[in-house]
Amino acid sequence: MTAAIVWFRRDLRLADNPALRHALERHERVLPVYIHAPDEEAPWAPGGAARWWLHHSLEALSAALARAGAPLLLRQGPSLRQLRELARTVDASAVYWNRLYEPALIARDQAVKQALREDGLTAESFNAALLAEPWQLKTGNGDPYRVFTPYWRNAGARLPQRPPPLPAVRKLSPVARAPRGLPLKELGLLPDIRWDGGLRDTWIPGEAGAWKRLEQYCDEAAANYKEERDLPALEATSRLSPHLHFGEISPGQIVAWLRRLAAEDARHGMVANVDHYIRELGWREFSHHLLYHYPYTPLQPLNPKFESFPWRKPRDYAADLRAWQRGRTGVPIVDAGMRQLWHTGWMHNRVRMIVASFLTKNLLIPWQEGAHWFWDTLVDADLANNTQGWQWTAGSGADAAPYFRVFNPVLQSGKFDKDGVYLRHWVPELKKLPDDMLHAPWLAKIAAPAPYDEPIVDLARSRERALLAYADIKNG
């Protein structure tokens, strides 16, 4: 009886999983396996928050696969060695997996595929993570896109031709004698010091958790997404990003679900909000397009002019960086966002832009420092999205924010958190201040409540300093 190995990575679901479906349809027995090999992802192995999510997502996937009849086998890398050993042990004739798009993993997977084929095995990979492969879309000149609007005009036009999501796999036949695997706890994904209480209170990792989150969003927020998505005090965004990153739900599933919702509720507002949300998924696609074509960008600016940008030196900014990381900058909206990040492993997107602008422009700290901190603290830490977001704010990336755009955190806070609900939740030291003093307490006629300090930098003067630095780059 023919057997196949399905190599799970960040496709931790049973529905709309082409590698798993392919194995089920072509082989009599299936061995699902997850191989923990963080060294192969260097220098972008998962950070602490992402490892926490991975542990619980693997736990959920293992239970789902066991119910389907073929339990998940856990191993520890190197991946090729483990796959070869497993193929010999269970007499598998094929190995299937769904593609990843980070530069180190593309190289790893290409080497694995070639080696397995040289061993006489069938080795095939599939697209389970994106609406369009990064290499499928090109400008009229045959170049990669570097501006979002024309990219999405091309990508969005292809959506109606997408096939429907694959149904969930309900029953699998396991291999006759399963090899020995590792207990999940031996992968060492959970923190030794339990700082993860906020994560446990906020999230339900796993495929079922992803669908619960999507359904909650559709019930409570989808109809007002376009108008309310920038308001951090509201549950107005889907918060599906970590579920998407770990492949607990696919973008194709989300698009199909939302389009059906809009068709059932023909109000123009619902249709417009659904289309606007799907466009936001397009930014995720665009980020993967950029990372694929410009694989150096997680560490280097896309715009080469920024190689000579006059960032401050580490010895000069170390204290300011630490204050930013801890949410102790003295700027309420910045501190609120950084504390939300530390407690929940997530930050509202509008606030992400504000804290990133403050770091790179008001503090003149290199965007790579912010990207590394986000990488370790975000449950949705995704190399493509993280890189694009930081380069966009710094002004050095594709479709970047204009160099002269320096977010004023006080104005941003007053506009998007007018009543201070978000600020009072995450910066409780200030909760008794009146609304007109809350966003810039250092300007109040009364002293800010202890122990809240004044800003670590003068916003107006630091803005001018940033504009001078960016002007030099623009003219250089």
Domain range list for the chain: 3-128, 130-162+206-293, 304-475
Q: Which residues of the chain register pLDDT less than 50?
A: none
Indicate which residues carry an active-site annotation: 280, 283, 311, 349, 367, 390
Pick the CATH number of 130-162+206-293 from 1.25.40.80, 1.10.3720.10, 3.40.50.620, 3.30.300.30: 1.25.40.80
116 vs 96: CA distance, rounded Å = 11
Q: Which residues contact 51 (CB under 8 A, 6 or more apart)?
A: 189, 190
Q: What is the pLDDT of residues 195-219, one digit of tens each?
A: 999 999 999 999 999 999 999 999 9
The predicted-structure confidence for 417-443, as pLDDT tens digits, reads as follows 999 999 999 999 999 899 989 999 998
| pLDDT tens readout for residues 449-464 | 566 889 999 999 999 9
Predicted pLDDT of residue 476: 62
**pLDDT value of position 448:** 55
Residues in Cβ contact with 363 at an 8 Å cutoff, skipping those fewer than 6 apart: 312, 317, 320, 321, 324, 456, 457, 462
CATH of 304-475, one of 3.30.1330.10, 2.115.10.20, 1.10.579.10, 3.50.50.60: 1.10.579.10
Q: Which long-range contacts (CB under 8 A, 24 or more apart) does 332-335 make?
A: 332/413, 332/423, 332/427, 332/430, 332/438, 332/439, 332/440, 332/441, 333/409, 333/410, 333/412, 333/413, 333/417, 333/422, 333/423, 333/439, 334/358, 334/409, 335/426, 335/427
Two tokens at 87?
Answer: 């193929």
The whole-model pTM stands at 0.96
The CATH number for 3-128, chosen from 3.40.50.300, 3.40.50.620, 3.40.50.12780, 3.30.200.20, is: 3.40.50.620
Residue 169, both tokens: 């796999």
Phi, psi (degrees; rounded to nearest 5) at 194? -75, 85
pLDDT digits (tens, 9 = 90+) for 258-292: 999 888 876 666 778 899 999 999 999 999 999 99
Kind and range of the H or E element at 30?
A: strand 29-36
DSSP state for residue 428 in the 8-state scheme: G
